[in-house]
Amino acid sequence: MASDYRRQEHRDFYAASRQALQDAPLQEALARLTQTLQRGNRRGFAELPDIDRLRSYAKQIKAHTLANLHHYLEQLAEKVQQAGGQVHWAEDAEQARQTVLEIVRAHQARKVVKAKSMTSEEIHLNAALAAAGLEVTETDFGEFIIQLSGERPSHIVAPAIHHTREEIAAILSRHLGQPVPDDARAIAQTGRQLLRRRFYEAEVGITGVNFAVAETGTLVLVTNEGNGRMTTTWPRVHLAIMGIEKVIPRWEHLAVFLKLLTRAATGHPLSVFTTLITGPRRPGETDGPEALHLILLDNGRSRILSGPFRESLQCIRCGACLNACPVYRRVGGHAYGGVYSGPIGAVLTPLYASLQDYAPLPHASSLCGACLAACPVKINLPHLLIALRHDLAETATSRPERWAYRVWRWLLQSPRRYRWAVRLAQWWFASAEGWHSALPGPASAWTKSRDFPAPARQIFRQWWRQHRHA
């Protein structure tokens, strides 16, 4: 049975992390799969001799697009409509959910299939569809598994990364009421049999959007299983939901991002399926939906765009920073509490929701820089995390924290007081071993997970006074 922190969003990163660290199967799954994905990222980048220039160019494209976002969104909407699609604007998650429900009801649909979409997770779409009495099926196999187990995705591109093969077989066995062997071929065959019928029966297919080309109104879906193509061709209605930052200006830019996306995510040169959708089915065409609806979601992005964290909107959702992060690789995605996890989630979740509610997340990083090295568009995540920590320090609300800052400031304002405090600390925290394994009071939180180093017996100022004339 999955723990509650896997099923529901929460704000207690520390408690969830402790629980994750004690979960042996989770540790096994994370160690194996993140290591494989990280190796793939490095191998994929190494295959391109001009990788640094390509990453810099991709970053320039994203920066230019965000600086002119209003123009490119209007161009995209115009081109989608010219191709026969309908465009809807959603200011927040509630408006997006209501728009989806209105479209589904207008087409008198009862059964919905979904391709993998972090944006739909962001707006909590599945719960809204189920509450409206609709039958919803996730068709990405990883998403399907966590739908059966009642969990949330734990990774941007590998939502069931926290499960071992044996656990996945057990989940399918419970669902079917009969044993499913725990080998990969049998699991895949079982999933194929379960999902194929759902595609045929669905009236509406819902997808996300990896990229949207403004100059043609083309929506781009990148998948590995073919479910994205089935979701957009079998149902008579295709409903795509995209964050407004997913737009790119021109066709030539798409090649840059396709070259980077799968290399960063898995190490492969290209994904198995890259689907390009420009409008609904036209007269004479044999497949495709009868109607295409595109929902452009803001949900806080405009606010981020106008502030100092604009760079975070350059993210292309490859998951490379998660695989590289030593914190994520130990605690997994559910510990972060929100939809997005890892270093990018530690930035986006406080920005989309509330920095005070998710105050631990900016501290869920060693600032080692592995995320920056892995990011295909060179987002400076360590810098953004430090900036969020700065904002937290500026808005400290607890009385003990405010008192501690006042005392610290008072000590630093006087050299005499500072020297007195140093001598007191040397005496109070003296230790023959050089560290303390347990501290009292509020400081005990530190020593629950690591030792506290004792102050040096001689600080630099004391050493300098003794040796400056030597």
Condensed to tens digits (0 to 9), the pLDDT of residues 214-263 reads 999 999 999 988 899 999 999 999 999 999 999 999 999 999 999 999 99
Residue 387 lies in a domain: no
Angle subtended by helix axes 165-176 and 184-201, to nearest 10: 50
Whether 298 and 437 map to the same domain: the answer is: no
At 336, which amino acid appears?
Answer: Y
Residue 402 lies in a domain: no
Residue 406's H or E segment, with its range, is helix 399-412
Model confidence pLDDT, tens digit, residues 182-195: 888 999 999 888 89
Q: Which of the four pLDDT bands, split at 50, 70 and 90, describes residue 457?
A: confident
CA dihedral 291, 121, 190, 210 (to 10 degrees): 60
**212 pLDDT more than 90:** yes
**2 pLDDT more than 60:** no
Structural domain ending residue among the three candidates 302, 326, 353: 302
- Predicted pLDDT of residue 397: 62
- Predicted pLDDT of residue 308: 96
Cβ 113 vs Cβ 137: under 8 Å? yes
Between 272 and 402, the more confident residue is 272
Q: Comparing 202-206, 268-272, 365-369, 394-398, which segment has the lowest mean pLDDT? A: 394-398
Q: Comparing 3-12, 52-61, 366-375, 392-401, which segment has the lowest mean pLDDT? A: 392-401
**371 pLDDT more than 60:** yes
Residue 315 lies in a domain: no
**40 pLDDT more than 70:** yes
Structural domain ending residue among the three candidates 253, 282, 302: 302
Q: Comparing 127-136, 167-176, 452-461, which segment has the lowest mean pLDDT? A: 452-461
Over residues 402-418, the mean pLDDT reads: 88
- Predicted pLDDT of residue 470: 66
- Predicted pLDDT of residue 1: 36
Residue 60 lies in a domain: yes
**Tokens encoding 392:** 């937290």
Q: Which of the four pLDDT bands, split at 50, 70 and 90, describes residue 422?
A: confident
- Predicted pLDDT of residue 5: 80
Q: Which of the four pLDDT bands, split at 50, 70 and 90, describes residue 432?
A: low
Whether 153 and 297 map to the same domain: the answer is: yes
CA dihedral 297, 225, 6, 385 (to 10 degrees): -50
DSSP 8-state secondary structure symbol assigned to residue 22: T
* Sign of torsion over alpha carbons 50, 55, 59, 65: positive
CA dihedral 49, 52, 53, 59 (to 10 degrees): 140
**Tokens encoding 19:** 């629980």
Between 419 and 119, the more confident residue is 119
Three-state secondary structure call for residue 116: coil
Residue identified by tokens 């200006």 is 249
Residue 332 lies in a domain: no
Over residues 287-294, the mean pLDDT reads: 94
Over residues 415-443, the mean pLDDT reads: 81
Write the CATH number for 108: 3.40.50.10420
**142 pLDDT more than 50:** yes
**61 pLDDT more than 90:** yes
Residue identified by tokens 């292309």 is 316
Neighbours of 345 (CB within 10 A): 24
Q: Given strand 111-114, what is the order of strands in its sheet?
A: 86-90, 291-297, 237-243, 204-207, 111-114, 135-138
- Predicted pLDDT of residue 459: 80
Model confidence pLDDT, tens digit, residues 147-187: 999 999 999 998 998 998 999 999 999 998 989 998 889 99
Non-local CB neighbours of 64 within 8 Å, separated by 6+ positions:
249
Nearest to 149 by CA among 134, 164, 135: 164
* Sign of torsion over alpha carbons 62, 336, 261, 85: negative
Whether 292 and 435 map to the same domain: the answer is: no
Residue 221 lies in a domain: yes
Residue 405 lies in a domain: no
Q: Comparing 92-101, 106-115, 192-201, which segment has the lowest mean pLDDT? A: 192-201
- Predicted pLDDT of residue 297: 98
Residue 200 lies in a domain: yes
Total domains present in the chain: 2
Over residues 298-324, the mean pLDDT reads: 96
> What is the extent of the structural domain holding 208?
4-302
Structural domain ending residue among the three candidates 302, 326, 347: 302
Cβ 170 vs Cβ 78: under 8 Å? no
Please give the model's pTM, rounded to 2 decimal places: 0.87
Whether 56 and 204 map to the same domain: the answer is: yes
Q: Which of the four pLDDT bands, split at 50, 70 and 90, describes residue 123?
A: very high
